[in-house]
Chain A
Amino acid sequence: MATVKEYAGAAPAAVASAVPRHQIVAFLAMLGILLVAPFFVYPVFLMKALCFALFACAFNLLIGYVGLLSFGHAAFLGSAGYVSAHAAKVWGLPPEAAILLGTAAAAVLGLVIGALAIRSRGIYFANITLAFAQMVFFSSIQAKFTGGEDGIQAVPRGTLLGVLDLRQPYTMYFVVLAIFLGGFLVVYRAIHSPFGQVLKAIRESEPRAISLGYRAEHYKLLAFVLSATLSGLAGGTKALVFQLASLTDVHWTMSGEVVLMTLLGGLGTVFGPVVGAFIMITLEHSLAQIGSWLTIVQGAIFVVCVLTFRRGVVGELARILRKPL
């Protein structure tokens, strides 16, 4: 992954104990927009975008900061969705327990897949994750509890912690927003911690990190599991938002879509994946009329992005401002 070296933000030399002011401003701006947005924009659309933004942030943790291109992240998103939906519908668990269970399932799956996948690197790593994701996909088609093509439908949203009625669109929205912000801050904290510094060191040169005494395998596995867990959190939440868990979320195209979101927003930037996810979901939403032609539009965008602004939207912005975003 030599290309990843050309990432946007300059890594701070010392471990950042204080968060740079412009990042606080950017975060507050994002928070402000997301707080008022549901009163102007259709909430379900925003919730979908937020779930994908969290998914992309989790993915970015791996590709942007460890330099591992996973091509199987749909497995975590989708299987967590199935587990959460099943828990909420069949076992009748409250939403918080259902989402946690889905997240835990993704974490376990991440541990199993990660332990095997991180032994390889580059294109082999991408292929192995893809292979595992395809296994998860075919198990989802065949397994009884996933409902095959039908998916798990009519998942009850329930009441969160016994007080918040999630059937109300605004309540659901702010719960999703809280989950997103939680996940976002976890990612932020991880990449700005000593742990994150080691990850970046591994990305730049794994042999050098090992020679400095770091057990690179452990760090990579931990990052992989963290990424899988947060993807699972996004998947479980998404299943409750749409009251549906379906094959779309475990299909390999979903793994491709998250790569595109991250790339479009800006690889290895804090806010990039969020912006990328919102751009992609808006596109999907406004171009829904053209049906399967959407894939071609997405492909064209991918080509344009790689050819003209390789750092992504936020990455280019950071370059102009000369500040990491």
Chain B
Amino acid sequence: MIILRILVLGVALLLATGPAQAQISDGVVKIGIMNDQSGTYADLAGPGSVVAARMAVEDYGAARKGLKVEIVVADHQNKPDVGSSIARQWFDADKVDVIIDVPTSSVVLAVNQIAREKNKALIVSTGATSDLTGAACSPNAIHWTYDTWSLANGTGSAIVKTGGETWFFLTADYKFGHDLERDTEAVVVKNGGKVLGKVRHPFPTADFSSFLLQAQASKAKIIGLANAGADTTNAIKQGAEFGIVRGGQQFAGLLVFLTDVHSLGLEKAQGLLLTESFYWDLNDQTRAFSKRFAERHRGAMPTMAQAGVYSAVLHYLKSVEALKSDDGPKVIAKMKELPTDDPVFGKGRVRPDGRKIHPVYLFEVKKPSESKGPWDYYKVRATIPAEQAFRPMDQGGCPLVKK
């Protein structure tokens, strides 16, 4: 009996010392916000994401809880080589514990690879490729806000069901565009629609004329824009000059952010259907958060990407505190274990494949006459519940969840 008791005591001691060994590296939790600070995707994430991250750190009360948090920012210029060298340096030399945000799917996959190799954490909010929770899924990464599958599932199926059965794709020629096109085409075909053609444009592009003429010549009812940011708004603006909408064709912006609608203006954007997981005017909580955000960001309301950064930083810090460690894969595992709850997305959770789930909304852009003021742009057409809004885990082909 005594031997047994000693054994139990020993095991208990071992278990007790376990968590004590884990700790915050260098006493600081260092968060790296990496995005496009000045280019095509600067408005929809950019400096606004940094504002959101700082708000999250303050709202979490990190200082009060004795947690030292530092935020560093870098501009990856949407180039995989720039992004990967920043990531390498952050992890190797600058002691960054987690990289958050990361628009541009080609950069996302490059950084994902490095985070895994260096055993650090990555939380993607703005980047869209659904491969991050599919073939490229990793125990070091979480995909937070939305992905190409959820966009296709929202906008794509809604449009086919309301009579837009013939499609022509205008696709940004890189990972994100390819994935968005692939996921949307699958939805279109599944719902009985037809894809008449597609054209790929360089990323980024200022002149869409030749691509728009091809789209016009295809006679497809719907011109699906598998691009984002300034590319999307440029295509829609130039499309108006070619009389595409007057000619009876319609644009489907497969990824449209609030800031894109803002820059297009309601006159041009009215009637667009779009899928987002966040809008500032959804409920009291989102309104309160967005008002505070706008005060700190030159009056601009947050996009879903920026709101996602806020939510991600909040949950990351919560998990670090619970774990008392900022070790990459351990925090990611803890984040998957703890339920999420924040003013942005409400209650949710992170699936084992790294997909954060929450409800996703299908919005329609208001007519100028319906809008009550600046930033009053969307009305909710449908709410897709969290469990249906994202690709089912068994269809992604993520090696982490394969039995």
State whether the Cβ of B125 lies closer than 8 Å to any Cβ in chain A: no
Inter-chain contacts of A169 with B (CB < 8 A): 92
* B75 and A288 contact, CB distance less than 8 A: yes
Q: How far is the CA of A247 from the CA of B174 in the complex (A)?
A: 12
Minimum CB–CB distance for A1 against chain B, Å: 32
* A148 and B174 contact, CB distance less than 8 A: yes
State whether the Cβ of B85 lies closer than 8 Å to any Cβ in chain A: yes
Inter-chain contacts of B77 with A (CB < 8 A): 291-292
Minimum CB–CB distance for A252 against chain B, Å: 15
* A151 and B75 contact, CB distance less than 8 A: no
* A292 and B39 contact, CB distance less than 8 A: yes
Partner of B80, one of A45, A48, A151: A151
Inter-chain contacts of A248 with B (CB < 8 A): 79, 81-82
Minimum CB–CB distance for B125 against chain A, Å: 20
State whether the Cβ of A160 lies closer than 8 Å to any Cβ in chain B: no
* A148-B174, A149-B203 as given contacts; A42 in contact with B81, CB under 8 Å: no
Partner of B175, one of A42, A44, A150, A247: A150
State whether the Cβ of A246 lies closer than 8 Å to any Cβ in chain B: yes
* A149-B173, A149-B203 as given contacts; A44 in contact with B92, CB under 8 Å: yes
* A149 and B81 contact, CB distance less than 8 A: no
Partner of B89, one of A44, A148, A153: A44
Partner of B174, one of A149, A154, A244, A249: A149
* Chain A contact residues: helix, strand, loop or mixed: helix
Q: How far is the CA of A150 from the CA of B269 in the complex (A)?
A: 30
Inter-chain contacts of A34 with B (CB < 8 A): none
State whether the Cβ of B214 lies closer than 8 Å to any Cβ in chain A: no
Partner of A246, one of B37, B81, B86, B92: B81
Q: How far is the CA of A222 from the CA of B271 in the complex (A)?
A: 64
Q: How large is the interface on B (under 10, 10 to 19, 20 to 34, 35 or more residues)?
A: 20 to 34
Minimum CB–CB distance for B204 against chain A, Å: 10
Partner of A153, one of B37, B74, B75, B80: B80
Partner of A42, one of B84, B92, B173: B92
* A153 and B109 contact, CB distance less than 8 A: yes
State whether the Cβ of A289 lies closer than 8 Å to any Cβ in chain B: yes
Partner of A151, one of B88, B93, B106: B106
Minimum CB–CB distance for B174 against chain A, Å: 3
* A42-B89, A292-B38 as given contacts; A149 in contact with B113, CB under 8 Å: no
Question: Count of A residues near B, CB < 8 Å?
Answer: 23
Partner of B75, one of A246, A247, A249, A291: A291
* A45-B89, A48-B85 as given contacts; A244 in contact with B80, CB under 8 Å: yes
Inter-chain contacts of A246 with B (CB < 8 A): 79-81
For window 167-188 of chain B, which residues contact chain A by CB distance below 8 Å? 173-175
Q: B-facing mask of A175-195, CB < 8 A → 1, else 0?
A: 000000000000000000000
For window 38-78 of chain B, which residues contact chain A by CB distance below 8 Å? 38-39, 74-75, 77
Inter-chain contacts of B110 with A (CB < 8 A): 151, 153-154, 244
Q: How far is the CA of A154 from the CA of B81 in the complex (A)?
A: 11
Q: B-facing mask of A145-175, CB < 8 A → 1, else 0?
A: 0001111011000000000000001000000
For window 220-272 of chain B, which residues contact chain A by CB distance below 8 Å? none
State whether the Cβ of B202 lies closer than 8 Å to any Cβ in chain A: yes
Q: How far is the CA of A42 from the CA of B203 in the complex (A)?
A: 32
* A291 and B37 contact, CB distance less than 8 A: yes
Q: How far is the CA of A45 from the CA of B94 in the complex (A)?
A: 13
Of all chain B residues, the one with the shortest Cβ separation from A138 is B202
Minimum CB–CB distance for B90 against chain A, Å: 11
For window 288-329 of chain B, which residues contact chain A by CB distance below 8 Å? none
Q: How far is the CA of A154 from the CA of B108 in the complex (A)?
A: 12
* A141-B173, A289-B75, A291-B37 as given contacts; A150 in contact with B80, CB under 8 Å: yes
Of all chain B residues, the one with the shortest Cβ separation from A292 is B38
Minimum CB–CB distance for A257 against chain B, Å: 13
Inter-chain contacts of B89 with A (CB < 8 A): 42, 44-45
Most B CB within 10 A of own CB, among A48, A148, A242: A148
Inter-chain contacts of A44 with B (CB < 8 A): 85, 88-89, 92
* B84 and A242 contact, CB distance less than 8 A: yes
Inter-chain contacts of B74 with A (CB < 8 A): 288-289
Q: How far is the CA of A244 from the CA of B110 in the complex (A)?
A: 8
Q: How far is the CA of A150 from the CA of B83 in the complex (A)?
A: 12
Q: How far is the CA of A243 from the CA of B80 in the complex (A)?
A: 11
* B84 and A244 contact, CB distance less than 8 A: yes
Inter-chain contacts of A151 with B (CB < 8 A): 80-81, 106, 110
* A149 and B86 contact, CB distance less than 8 A: no
Minimum CB–CB distance for A48 against chain B, Å: 7
Inter-chain contacts of A148 with B (CB < 8 A): 173-174
* A42-B92, A42-B93, A288-B86 as given contacts; A149 in contact with B175, CB under 8 Å: yes
* A42-B89, A44-B88, A291-B37 as given contacts; A242 in contact with B81, CB under 8 Å: yes
Inter-chain contacts of B93 with A (CB < 8 A): 42
Q: B-facing mask of A279-290, CB < 8 A → 1, else 0?
A: 000000000110
Inter-chain contacts of B88 with A (CB < 8 A): 44, 242
For window 235-257 of chain A, which residues contact chain B by CB distance below 8 Å? 242-244, 246-249
Inter-chain contacts of A150 with B (CB < 8 A): 80, 106, 109, 174-175
7 more A-B contacts (CB under 8 A) besides A153-B84, A289-B74?
A45-B89, A48-B85, A141-B202, A149-B174, A244-B110, A288-B74, A288-B75
Residues of A in contact with B (beta carbons under 8 Å apart)? 42, 44-45, 48, 141, 148-151, 153-154, 169, 242-244, 246-249, 288-289, 291-292
Task: Provide a sorted-by-A list of 28 A–B residue pairs whose CB atoms are within 8 angstroms.
Answer: A42-B89, A42-B92, A44-B85, A48-B85, A141-B202, A149-B173, A149-B174, A149-B175, A150-B106, A151-B106, A153-B109, A154-B110, A169-B92, A242-B81, A242-B84, A242-B85, A243-B84, A244-B81, A246-B79, A248-B81, A249-B81, A288-B74, A288-B75, A289-B74, A291-B38, A291-B75, A292-B38, A292-B39
Q: Which 4 A-B pairs have the closest CB atoms?
A: A149-B174, A150-B106, A291-B75, A246-B81
